Amino acid sequence: MRTGHRKCGRPTFPRSSRKSPWCTLLLSRVSTRNRPNFGASPSQLVQNLLNGLAIGSVYAIFALGYTLVFSILGIINFAHGAVFTLGAYFTYTLVVGQFENNGLLRGVNLFPQGSPFAGSPWTFALATLIGAVVAGLIAVLIERLAFRPMRARGAEPLLALVSSLGVALVIVNLIQLLVGAEIYNFPANAYGEVRPALSFQLGERVVIIRTVQLIIFAVSLVMLAVLGYVIGRTRVGKALRAVAESPGTASLLGISVDRFILITFFLSGVLGGLAGTLVGTAFGVAGPYFGVTYGLKGLAVIVLGGLGSIPGAVVGGLVIGLAEAFVPGDYSAYKDAVAFALLFAILLVRPQGLLGRTQIQKV
């Protein structure tokens, strides 16, 4: 009879049991935690579709600002995210009138008797329009400070890109100095006496359409229609297309290139400021840096749709918005990763983007 210590190893079980008890316990825990419901009901599919179209519309409006500048100058305006943030803060200032958290403007009340821009859909729309126009004027100022000096000196496009990034950092830090880094939410009565949501029965569940989503749909359709008309049917749009095609030839034809570049930046800023207000209304103004996240998403949208393509920006925004909306709830924290993974997968197949055109450069 052999004596001594037994060797430690894996526990042995009867051959009739195909799975280890440890494996069974592990599988049971995995199967009951964080398991997404991929078999969604029709009502859930419709709800995800509405949510995706809403956020995708905002992405499209925001990305159109990038596209306009890129189609004219051939560079990315990294300050566009800061303009997005400014639009949200300007509208919030008009609607609320004061900032109660940290910052140099803490306690300053612009409207002691109450804001004239709150309490009615029309006054809120006016505040949104003013905020978008101010954002457009800020974008014009950015062009004069960050882009035109570089262009006048014949600098490389990369230097203008870095210059715009520097302006964006200055704006973001200035916002933080003035109003702090806290989240500001629009008041519930910003629109006045308006139903917060609409709902309808679909199957066994209820589909909810928030009022802010209806506003996003309406504003997006109006802005796309107006932009399409301006670009395709007006003299300004024809001049912008001529400058985008060949600035030198446009200048020989008597078109003021600098003037129409300013117009492009103004339109870009209006779109960015409007998108910032829509996002701020739906989710809150999440601090001075919240435009950075949406700025990266906007870049993904224009790359996905095709650089310089206006229809591509719209399609790319809707695709990314829908991709994020259909991420299972248990994995919603990874929706940004899903969006960029989709971008990577599509670019492997179409490097020029969904609606972009392959360009042949002469050497």
The pLDDT assigned to 80 comes to 95
| CATH C-level class of 40-349 | mainly alpha
Instruction: Compute the distance between CA of residue 89 and CA of residue 91 in angstroms, rounded to an integer.
Output: 5
Helices within the chain (DSSP H only): 21-32, 42-73, 80-96, 121-142, 148-152, 157-179, 211-233, 235-245, 247-252, 257-283, 290-305, 310-325, 335-349
Instruction: Compute the distance between CA of residue 62 and CA of residue 69 in angstroms, rounded to an integer.
Output: 12
Nearby residues of 93 by Cβ (< 8 Å), 6 or more positions away: 99, 110
pTM beyond 0.75, yes or no: yes
pLDDT digits (tens, 9 = 90+) for 303-360: 999 988 889 999 999 999 999 998 887 787 888 888 888 888 888 998 888 887 765 5
pLDDT digits (tens, 9 = 90+) for 42-62: 888 888 899 999 999 999 999
pLDDT digits (tens, 9 = 90+) for 226-275: 999 999 889 999 999 999 888 888 888 888 999 999 999 999 999 999 99
Q: How far is CA 345 from CA 59, 321, 338, 342, in A?
A: 19, 16, 10, 5
The pLDDT assigned to 39 comes to 52
Mean pLDDT, all residues of the chain: 83
pLDDT digits (tens, 9 = 90+) for 214-227: 889 999 999 999 99
Nearby residues of 337 by Cβ (< 8 Å), 6 or more positions away: none
Instruction: Compute the distance between CA of residue 208 and CA of residue 171 in angstroms, rounded to an integer.
Output: 37
Q: Of the ranges 3-7, 25-29, 90-94, 129-133, which one carries the lowest mean pLDDT score?
A: 25-29
Phi/psi at 236 (nearest 5 deg)? Answer: -60, -45
Residue 72: which of 256, 241, 315, 227 has the closest Cα? 241
pLDDT digits (tens, 9 = 90+) for 136-158: 999 999 999 889 988 888 888 88
More confident position, 84 or 202: 84
Geometric angle at alpha carbon 354, from 132 and 65, rounded to 5°:
15
pLDDT digits (tens, 9 = 90+) for 164-200: 999 999 999 999 999 888 888 888 777 777 777 777 7
The confidence band for 63, taking pLDDT boundaries of 50, 70 and 90, is very high
The pLDDT assigned to 358 comes to 62
Mean pLDDT, rounded, for 281-297: 86
> What 8-state DSSP symbol labels residue 98?
B
The pLDDT assigned to 32 comes to 42
Adjacent-strand bridge partners of 201: 206
Residue 37: which of 344, 356, 350, 329 has the closest Cα? 329
Cβ atoms of 94 and 131 closer than 8 Å: yes
Residue 274: which of 52, 91, 72, 79 has the closest Cα? 91
Instruction: Compute the distance between CA of residue 210 and CA of residue 60 in angstroms, rounded to an integer.
Output: 19
Burial class (CB in 10 A: 0-12, 13-18, 19+), 153: exposed
Q: Is 238 helix (H, G, I), strand (E, B) or coil?
A: helix
Residue 317: which of 327, 302, 306 has the closest Cα? 302
The pLDDT assigned to 198 comes to 78
Domain ranges of the chain: 40-349
Adjacent-strand bridge partners of 206: 201
The confidence band for 30, taking pLDDT boundaries of 50, 70 and 90, is very low
Rg (C-alpha) for the chain, rounded Å, is 26
Q: How far is CA 215 from CA 90, 164, 203, in A?
A: 19, 31, 26
Instruction: Compute the distance between CA of residue 227 and CA of residue 224 in angstroms, rounded to an integer.
Output: 5
The pLDDT assigned to 184 comes to 87
The pLDDT assigned to 128 comes to 94
Residue 88: which of 266, 262, 289, 224 has the closest Cα? 289
